[in-house]
Amino acid sequence: MGEEPSPEIKTRFYSFLDGLTLDYVYELDGNDLTIWFGEKGSSNFYKGKFSADGNAMTGAWQWPGGGYSVTGTRVT
């Protein structure tokens, strides 16, 4: 409390099942979204792109030795 706002968008996830605390940093540039696990510049990250109409997203989580693709669509 009482701190200056961060120039970065950050979130923290608390897992009540196993006690993990996970931090993420987000960057949105036009339709391109990058999410880093931990700190910005981490080797564990998501890179994706929103469609022009904002109704779909494609991308992939990547980390040393692995990763997976993600596709999402807006449900109305």
- Specify the pTM: 0.85
pLDDT, mean over the chain: 94
Give the start-to-end residue ranges of the domains of the chain. 9-73
pLDDT in tens, 33-70: 999 999 999 999 999 999 999 999 999 999 999 999 99
Supply the pLDDT for residue 3: 79
With a cut of 80, say whether residue 1 has pLDDT above it: no
The CA radius of gyration of the chain, in Å to the nearest whole number, is 14
Percent of the chain with pLDDT over 90: 87
Using H for helix, E for strand and C for coil, what is the string for the chain?
A: CCCCCCCCEEEEEECCCCCCEEEEEEEEECCEEEEEECCCCCCCEEEEEECCCCCEEEEEEEECCEEEEEEEECCC
